[in-house]
Amino acid sequence: MKVTAPAATLVPAVNGPEDDLLDWHGIDWATCEENVRRLRQRIFKATQEGDLKKVRNLQKLMLRSRSNTLVSVKRVTQQSSGRKTAGIDGERALTPKARGKLAAEVHRSSQPWKARPVKRVFIPKSNGKQRPLGIPVIRDRVLQARVKNALEPEWEARFEPKSYGFRPGRSCQDAIMAIFSTVKGKSSKRHWVLDADLSAAFDRIDHLHLISAIGQFPARGLIRGWLKAGVIDRGRFAPTEEGTPQGGVISPLLMNVALHGLEQAAGCHYKVAQAGREPGAAPGTPVLVRYADDFVVLCHDEAQVHEVRARLEDWLEPRGLRFNEEKTKVVHLEEGFDFLGFTVRRTGGKMIIRPSTEACKRLRARLRTEVKALNGANAEAVLRRLIPIVRGWAAYYRGVASTTTFASLDRYMWRLTWNWARRSHPKKSRYWVADRYFGRFHPSRRDRWVFGNRNSGAFLPKFAWTGIVRHQLVKGGASMDDPALTEYWTNRRRRKAPPPMDKTSLLLAVRQQGLCPLCKQALIAGAEYEPDSPREWINWFAASKKMLHKHHFTYRRNGGGDERNNLRLVHSECHRQHHAGDGEQTT
């Protein structure tokens, strides 16, 4: 029997003429982003005040907003890492004309939209298994981004303080620092841990419970349609009676909505906040730290751990979720546990957090595979492949005790590059190889054994060159949608350690306060969401040279040079748009 997904009604377009939507390069992105940001803040404030009628009216306004449509199309087709991946219809929007056309079609449409099934793809997991992803069609992704901007600020005003996964302004490092701040010091009494893992959480969320939690949200019909759309796996259609497919724009938010209330179910309570200080956990109560569907519960004794686990099992059951018995365990802090790629352990009365052994093994295996595949290539190809891996991995782990790990990885990297160089020139002596590929390439470091290319001057940075910078924990209830905390987030971005980019790009980014001078938006697209894994950091650095360009104030054809006072760092799309009318080519 053929299963069809229910149709949902699109809100008719308003807010002025749409003819200029086709002129993608003529859009004022700073104004569009500001319109969306201001409307999100109004939804957040109305939710805090408990004015549900005003919340729903503002959400309807967001769903009709022309700025929201444009921003959603831009994020899906330009900033998303999956922008080049098509759904079952094979359609993408990789050109300005295609993006303008897509935005016009989505915004003008007043006809009911029937969600299309998602395309099933599989990506490898760290344990050797495969993780299923669902890739929606491009139009569904844009609609999901629009709906997310309307739904997310309402729930940002409700989410619990120690929920860190897939939320604006929060990251894995915040979750790790929340654990550290809870159990550090000799006076800490929470030495027992429930290291929990939910079994296939995204695939088993109960639809009825999730829709009930969303309430009378104006676009709940669209959300129900996406949940029931089904999947196409190797040409076969399969209905989806439960779960939300990983890969959708709105799926992480729906996961957070489904798990809202987990801290309360575990029995977590917090003291009344004092002026200028964060409220701590009430004495004798557990502390739950969650990142998406992974969480740990810090308890005082083993009996409390088992009591919390029993309560959470009862709470998860009506939501269609349960613990993964193989991965869920009870441990003492002296034994330690792994969480989000880190090992958390109490040694000699001190809390030590460092990169996990499994994470280091995976990195070594990847480096070994990459270098082996580069046999026969030149030094420039080796640098292009390895530099993002070194910088990305070091950026993810620079907030913990990684000095010893970084030094060990540098020794391993030296062996790999040395063996690659010897294999590339089997008839040359060791002295010749050392002179050609190794030297003091970094101007400020007296290191003789830095791998590089003498022709171009490019070199491979070392892990140990990334300084250890303790991550500043975000305030418990702080949200980027809270209009009262605008100054807090501005100061936090200013204090945050910059990504380990090349020196010129980093100085330009600091000089520009992290903004693109052409569009007035953050240089790192979607900067409110930090990369949440070493793989995402590596992918970001690999794509950064394509996403960011150095623009010359005085063009090189007119005698301009590469001095820093003649350069500014801009988005590649902004660079192309800037030169679209003057006949200059961008590289």
DSSP letter for each residue of 346-411 = EETTEEEEEE-HHHHHHHHHHHHHHHHHTTT--HHHHHHHHHHHHHHHHHHHTTSS-HHHHHHHHH
At residue 410, φ and ψ (nearest 5 deg) are -65, -40
* pLDDT averaged over every residue in the chain: 85
Task: Between 241 and 582, name the one with better pLDDT.
Answer: 241
Percent of the chain having pLDDT more than 70?
Answer: 89
Question: Of 28-32, 114-118, 539-543, which range is least confident?
Answer: 539-543
pLDDT, residue 544, reads 64
pLDDT digits (tens, 9 = 90+) for 156-213: 999 999 999 889 989 899 999 999 999 887 778 889 999 998 888 888 899 999 999 9
| Residue 12, pLDDT above cutoff 50 | no
| Residue 10, pLDDT above cutoff 50 | no
How far is Cα 478 from Cα 160, in angstroms, rounded to an integer?
A: 10
Using only C-alpha atoms, what is the Rg of the chain?
Answer: 25
Q: Cα 170–41–36 angle (5° rounding)?
A: 95
pLDDT, residue 14, reads 40
DSSP bridge pairs for 239: none
pLDDT, residue 499, reads 66
Question: Of 46-55, 105-114, 399-408, which range is least confident?
Answer: 105-114
The alpha carbon torsion through 386, 389, 394, 396 (nearest 10 deg) reads: 170
How far is Cα 180 from Cα 333, in angstroms, rounded to an integer?
A: 11
| Residue 522, pLDDT above cutoff 60 | yes
pLDDT, residue 445, reads 83
pLDDT, residue 174, reads 92
Question: Of 20-24, 52-56, 412-416, 453-457, which range is least confident?
Answer: 20-24
pLDDT, residue 16, reads 45
| Residue 418, pLDDT above cutoff 90 | yes
Instruction: State the pLDDT confidence band at 49, using cuts at 50, 70 and 90.
Output: very high
Alpha-carbon dihedral sign for residues 391, 395, 396, 402:
positive
Q: Which of 27-31, 127-131, 380-384, 473-477 has the highest mean pLDDT?
A: 380-384
How far is Cα 296 from Cα 404, in angstroms, rounded to an integer?
A: 26
Question: Of 177-181, 182-186, 339-343, 480-484, which range is least confident?
Answer: 182-186
| Residue 21, pLDDT above cutoff 50 | no
pTM tops 0.85: yes
pLDDT digits (tens, 9 = 90+) for 59-81: 999 999 999 999 999 989 988 87
pLDDT digits (tens, 9 = 90+) for 424-446: 999 999 999 999 999 888 877 88
Question: Of 100-114, 220-234, 322-336, 519-533, which range is least confident?
Answer: 519-533
pLDDT digits (tens, 9 = 90+) for 299-321: 999 999 999 999 999 999 999 99
DSSP bridge pairs for 350: 347
Q: Is 255 left (phi over 0), alpha (psi -120 to 50) or beta?
A: alpha
DSSP bridge pairs for 132: 122
Alpha-carbon dihedral sign for residues 523, 529, 530, 533:
negative
What is the total residue count of the chain? 587
- Pairing state between β 118-124 and 231-233: parallel
Whether 65 and 15 have beta carbons less than 8 Å apart is answered as yes
Instruction: State the pLDDT confidence band at 373, using cuts at 50, 70 and 90.
Output: very high
